[in-house]
């Protein structure tokens, strides 16, 4: 398969017919000119949207496509900028690199280096910000087309649209709201924008209104998101989806569980915010009231929603499924609640613009093998995995790094070191300490990119719901209840008999840290832990004695005292040119170095 690609070098543009499977990414240093930023374009005009089943179905399918779309902001798939602009998965990966459990083994071809090093953070958020608004805009078109829905099918499309719109604004609100940090100077700069999230744009917002649309306060935003999710849950009751890349009421319940956990942690840490939320109840803005009076109420609601998902027939990934060299974390199974799917070559621009091509260690065609820069688990997080926990062999133990003979405990298609395996780049000995074997290429294809890229990517698994229940039990029923929930899960689903998981935490705070550590091990690489680190204000430590973070990434550290400053995303300057209400209401620059 060939595509025409344009390369910019030394100020000149070259059009080249390339074989996609053989394309090699060029280094950042080879780019000497950048692409002009363009106004985000509409995905479909209003005239194309009629209130007929076929046109609305097309738009609903477009939401699934939008999740894996590339060049949503920049228009050159061959440029370095495309590495920052390949859909929802791109921002899952970016958020993962901002924490302390996902180091890279080198710096070569690390396209997430800006976020991993917390450098120049005011310059790279434009595609992120507008991606989410374009996702919400597509949902808004469906909302317009289904405003007077009279059939069950049209109401279901409306529920699907509200689910995706809620996802967009949940992410936008948490990423771009400035939460108090451990940096007093930065906090002082944020005095005027404390409590402000992002502007809300619905299907009823006019073009003129978008030009002077202020950032919504958190109390309004939460009621807006809750309205979408509660409406979607009602509209999707009984809806039978065709695949897990579509949404249903289980997905909505999972999103509600995440939503209530964010609110619970916020109101527990900042009681004044709870009072502001309660005062906003009954507003005439059209959004539903939350109906809560305490942080405990939020924990109760979070557990109810999480249990609804668990009880819907899902069960955790088994040991054999997790370590399957053909289908491990590339194929939906009974644990997956929601996913994204790449099913054709036309759905991806290049392997280096994908989670699979960026993270999977085994494929000879993926970035880790090509660049020798692997995505690893943090050494401190690895130390939290008990010896009897079968997840531990998802990462290479330090003593097994670069082993010439493949240790029997690892499930892998890589081979013992020989002249042939080194020539083919299929030698296990190329793997550094802590490199991952969690994500496998599609169909287990380590040598063929076009087959290996055909994969499912998890957006929500039932295991996340179990960990939400654990945290809720800790917060509402106490230390022993939280311990029991954690131990029951680990011993039922993650420990090899006769090994037994036993919590040693003696305080609620220590147990919360233990739960979050095991949750991080479970969801490593799935783009979800940023939410927990921000809502809980967790420490991010990369310079510990045993840390495997390298320079310059090991210089970025945060002791628990508010959220790490670089987790507060910067609203791009480009947004201010379209919306004058943002003038004077921008976040302070969170760049660390």
Is residue 4 pLDDT above 80, yes or no? no
What's the Cα-to-Cα distance from 395 to each of 327, 398, 481, 497, rounded to whole Å?
A: 17, 9, 31, 20
Task: Let me know: does 453 contact 441? Beta carbons within 8 Å.
Answer: yes
3-state SS class at 377: coil
The region that residue 569 occupies, defined by phi over 0 for left and psi between -120 and 50 for alpha, beta otherwise, is: beta
* Distance separating alpha carbons of residues 383 and 397, to the nearest angstrom: 10
Mention every residue, 6+ apart, whose C-beta is less than 8 A from residue 550.
103, 104, 105, 106, 107
Q: What is the mean pLDDT of the chain?
A: 91
> With 70 as the cut, is the pLDDT of residue 38 above it?
no
Neighbours of 34 (CB within 10 A): 11
Long-range contact pairs involving 8-15 (C-beta distance under 8 Å, separation at least 24): 8/32, 8/33, 8/35, 8/76, 8/78, 8/79
**Rg, Å, the chain Cα set:** 23
Residue 313, sorted as left (phi over 0), alpha (psi -120 to 50) or beta, turns out to be: left
Cis check for the bond before 498: say yes or no (omega within 30 of 0): yes
* pLDDT confidence of residue 24: 30
State the Cα–Cα distance between residues 557 and 527, nearest whole angstrom.
Answer: 20
For the segment 331-367, what is each residue's pLDDT rounded down to a tens digit?
999 999 999 999 998 898 889 999 999 999 999 999 9
DSSP 25: P
Can you give the three-state secondary structure of 312-370, one letter per residue?
Answer: CCCCCCCHHHHCCCCCCCCCCCCCEEEEEECCCHHHCCCCCCCHHHHHCCCCCCCHHHH
What pLDDT is stored for residue 513 in this prediction?
98
User: CB-based contacts of 327: which residues, under 8 Å, 6+ apart?
Assistant: 321, 333, 440, 443, 444
> How many residues can be counted in the chain?
593
Q: In this structure, what token pair is assigned to residue 437?
A: 């074997």
CA distance 102 to 105: 10
Residue 255: how many other CB atoms lie within 10 Å: 26
CA separation for the pair 29, 535 (Å, rounded): 37
pLDDT digits (tens, 9 = 90+) for 303-333: 999 999 999 999 999 999 999 999 999 999 9
Q: What is the 8-class DSSP label of residue 12? A: E
What percent of the chain is helix, strand and coil (3-state, nearest 5)? 45, 5, 45
Question: What would the pLDDT profile of 165-202 be if each residue is shown by its tens digit?
Answer: 999 999 999 999 999 999 999 999 999 999 999 999 99
Q: H/E/C letters for each residue in 466-497?
A: HHHHHHHHHHHHCHHHHHHHHHHHHHHHCECC
Cα–chain-centroid distance for residue 274?
27
As a whole-number percent, the residues of the chain with pLDDT over 70 amount to 91
- Residue 81: per-residue pLDDT: 86
Maximal C-alpha separation, the chain: 73
Give the per-residue pLDDT at 75.
85
Predicted confidence (pLDDT) per residue in 402-448, tens digit: 999 999 999 999 999 999 999 999 999 999 999 999 999 999 999 99
> Global pTM?
0.92
> Alpha helices, DSSP H only, in 434-569?
449-452, 462-477, 479-493, 508-523, 529-536
Angle at 470 between CA 392 and CA 182, to 5 degrees: 85
For the segment 474-512, what is each residue's pLDDT rounded down to a tens digit? Answer: 999 999 999 999 999 999 999 999 999 999 999 999 999
């Amino acid at each position: 398969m060939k595509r025409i690609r344009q390369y910019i070098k030394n100020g000149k543009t070259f059009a080249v017919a390339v074989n996609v499977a053989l394309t090699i990414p060029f280094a950042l240093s080879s780019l000497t000119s950048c692409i002009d930023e363009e106004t985000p374009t509409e995905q479909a005009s209003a005239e194309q949207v009629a209130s007929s089943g076929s046109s609305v179905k097309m738009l609903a399918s477009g939401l699934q496509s939008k999740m894996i779309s590339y060049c949503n902001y920049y228009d050159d798939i061959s440029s370095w900028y495309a590495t920052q602009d390949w859909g929802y998965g791109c921002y899952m990966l970016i958020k993962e690199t901002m924490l302390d459990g996902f180091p890279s083994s080198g710096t070569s071809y690390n396209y997430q280096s800006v976020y991993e090093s917390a450098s120049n953070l005011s310059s790279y958020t434009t595609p992120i910000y507008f991606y989410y608004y374009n996702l919400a805009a597509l949902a808004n078109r469906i909302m317009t087309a289904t405003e007077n829905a009279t059939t069950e099918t049209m109401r279901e499309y409306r529920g699907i649209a509200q689910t995706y719109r809620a996802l967009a604004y949940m992410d936008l609100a948490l990423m771009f709201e400035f939460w108090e940090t451990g940096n007093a100077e930065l906090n002082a700069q944020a005095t005027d924008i404390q409590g402000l999230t992002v502007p809300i744009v619905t299907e009823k917002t006019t073009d003129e209104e978008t030009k002077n649309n202020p950032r919504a306060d958190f109390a309004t935003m939460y009621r807006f998101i809750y309205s979408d999710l509660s409406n979607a849950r009602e509209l999707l009751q009984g809806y039978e989806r065709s695949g897990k890349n579509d949404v249903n009421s289980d997905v909505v319940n999972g999103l509600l569980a995440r939503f209530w956990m964010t609110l619970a942690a916020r109101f527990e840490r900042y009681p004044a915010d709870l009072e502001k939320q309660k005062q906003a109840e009954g507003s005439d803005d059209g959004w539903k009231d939350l109906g809560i009076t305490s942080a405990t109420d939020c924990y109760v609601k979070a557990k109810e929603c999480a249990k609804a998902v668990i009880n819907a027939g899902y069960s955790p990934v088994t040991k054999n499924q997790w370590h399957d060299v053909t289908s491990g974390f590339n194929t939906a199974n009974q644990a997956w609640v929601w996913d994204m799917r790449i099913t054709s070559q036309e759905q991806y621009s290049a392997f280096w613009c994908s989670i699979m091509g960026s993270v999977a260690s085994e494929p000879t065609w993926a970035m880790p093998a090509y660049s020798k820069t692997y995505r690893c688990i943090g050494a401190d997080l690895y130390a939290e995995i008990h010896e009897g926990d079968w997840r531990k062999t998802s990462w290479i133990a330090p003593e097994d790094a670069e082993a010439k003979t493949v240790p029997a405990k690892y499930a892998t298609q890589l081979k013992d070191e020989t002249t042939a395996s080194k020539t083919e780049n299929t030698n296990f000995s190329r793997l550094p300490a802590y490199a991952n074997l969690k994500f496998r290429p599609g169909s287990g294809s380590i040598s063929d990119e076009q087959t290996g890229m055909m994969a499912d990517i998890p957006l929500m698994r039932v295991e996340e719901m179990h960990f939400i229940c654990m945290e809720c039990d800790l917060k509402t029923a106490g230390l022993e209840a939280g311990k029991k929930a954690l131990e029951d899960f680990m011993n039922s689903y993650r420990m090899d008999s006769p090994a037994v998981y036993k919590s040693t935490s003696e305080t609620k705070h220590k147990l919360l840290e233990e739960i979050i550590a095991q949750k991080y091990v479970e969801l490593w690489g799935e783009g979800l832990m940023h939410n927990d680190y921000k809502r809980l204000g967790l420490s991010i430590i990369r310079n510990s004695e045993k840390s495997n973070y390298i320079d310059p990434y090991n210089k970025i550290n945060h002791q628990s005292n508010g959220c790490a400053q670089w987790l507060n995303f910067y609203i791009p300057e480009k947004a201010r040119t379209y919306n004058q209400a943002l003038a004077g209401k921008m976040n302070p620059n969170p760049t660390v170095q």
